[in-house]
Amino acid sequence: MAESLILSLESSCDETAGAIMRDGREVLSQFVASQTDLHRTYGGVVPEVACRAHMECLLPGVDKLFSEAGVTPGRLDAVAATHRPGLIGALLVGVSAAKALALAWGKPLVGVDHIEAHIAAAGLAEPALKTPYVALVVSGGHTNLYAVDNDAAGVERMTPVAHTLDDAAGEAFDKAAKLLGLGFPGGPLIEAAARAGSAGTFAWKNACLPGDGVNFSFSGLKTAVLYAARGMAGRKGPLLLDEKGVSDAAAGFQAAVVHALVSRTLDAARRLGVGWIALGGGVAANGCLRAGIRAAAGAAGLRVAIPPPRLCTDNAVMVGARAHKLFAAGARDPLSLETAAR
């Protein structure tokens, strides 16, 4: 594969991130500026707030990338940015910056799909990962299973094989945490609360497995958490659970989500006859999911590729990894490259 030095930008949701990487693998410098503290007061990501923060952090971050990497823009082979899917205004900040920099420096532009980047992070973590494989992408906006193979240019190509019928898994974590009075972002807070709880107290184990035998559904579990936490008064009602009850509900919720993710992923791997499972997206930072997939895959004789937690949540290293593959295969995007929410 051709050599490359690429600057990659990520701004699809509430993390502003950048990286300079050689050959999509060697990270010369990187940063992730999380906006969690800004959004916490609102209990969720506010698009307008996210855009302003991206505007403030992006170019100063890029400046630092070059000084830390000890390279000049002239040495770059391309500028890459996430251009879909995500919050449209947030995407526009990163893509507009990438276009301006590419134009100013006379470098090619490469647009990267955020989901494909999450999957590329698994290949960084596990260089032996080989197609065909099944990839589970679980984040705040997506819960999808893909069959991954290679296109004619040798670049991984993702074909969707299962999806959520309603909420994304990360979104469910965030909403359940709110109902349980744990705060934002929900994933890490539910995981922490669940450590002190018993998953068997609430009978939710199969709540996320719709009858179609293939897809996911998290809205029924969310309603179950709502009634357990707030009773018939609804989401504005007082919290009815004590500390132990909250831990039990967190543990029951997490166990149900993990059970669905693990069983559907293993089913898909068996059905498609692949030897590898890859994980990506913020929810893949969850210790219970990581352990569950490893155990089930091990028992089935399958190998797993799971990025370290810092490469599961949004970052630009995954964008650089995907951009390198596309660039090496000849992908170049025009300055009219569009952003897309979906």
Q: Which residue from 77, 174, 248, 333 is in contact with ligand KG4, where contact means CB under 6 A?
A: 174
Binder of ligand KG4 out of 7, 13, 58, 120 (CB under 6 A): 13
| Two structure tokens written together for 339 | 């952003």
> How many positions of this chain bind Zn ion (CB under 5 A)?
2
Element (H, E) at 175: helix 169-179
Q: Closest CB to ligand KG4 among 173 and 327?
A: 173
Residue among 209, 285, 316, 321 that touches ligand KG4 (CB under 6 A): 285
Q: Which of residues 230-269 bind ligand KG4 (CB under 6 A)?
A: none
Looking at the Cβ atoms of 185 and 197, the one nearer to ligand KG4 is 185
Site stretch for ligand KG4 (CB under 6 A), options 233-241, 276-284, 295-303, 321-329: 276-284
Residues forming a β-bridge with 15:
34
Taking alpha carbons only, the member of 185, 170, 178 closest to residue 249 is 178
Report the residue from 8, 30, 139, 265 that binds ligand KG4 according to the rule CB under 6 A.
139
CA distances from 110 to 7, 14, 79 (A): 10, 21, 6
CA-to-CA distance for 153 and 90, rounded, in angstroms?
31
Residue 339 binds Zn ion, judged by CB under 5 A:
no
Q: Are strands 143-150 and 133-138 parallel, antiparallel or unpaired?
A: antiparallel
Cα atoms in the Cβ-side hemisphere of radius 13 Å centred on 164:
26
Q: Interacting stretch for ligand KG4, rule CB under 6 A, among 24-32, 149-157, 168-176, 206-214? A: 168-176
Maximum CA extent, the chain: 63
The β-bridge partners of 26 are: 22
SS3 of 189, please?
Answer: helix
Name the amino acid, one letter, at 27.
V
Query: Measured between alpha carbons, how far is 333 from 188 in angstroms, rounded to an integer?
Result: 37
Question: By C-beta, is 179 or 328 nearer to ligand KG4?
Answer: 179
In the list 123, 140, 307, 320, the residue contacting ligand KG4 (rule: CB under 6 A) is: 140
Q: How far is the CB of 271 from ligand KG4 (least distance, A)?
A: 26
For residue 86, the minimal CB distance to Zn ion (Å) is 8
In the complex, the residues that contact Zn ion under the rule CB under 5 A are: 139, 314
In the complex, the residues that contact ligand KG4 under the rule CB under 6 A are: 13, 139-141, 170-171, 173-174, 185-188, 191, 281-283, 285-286, 313-314
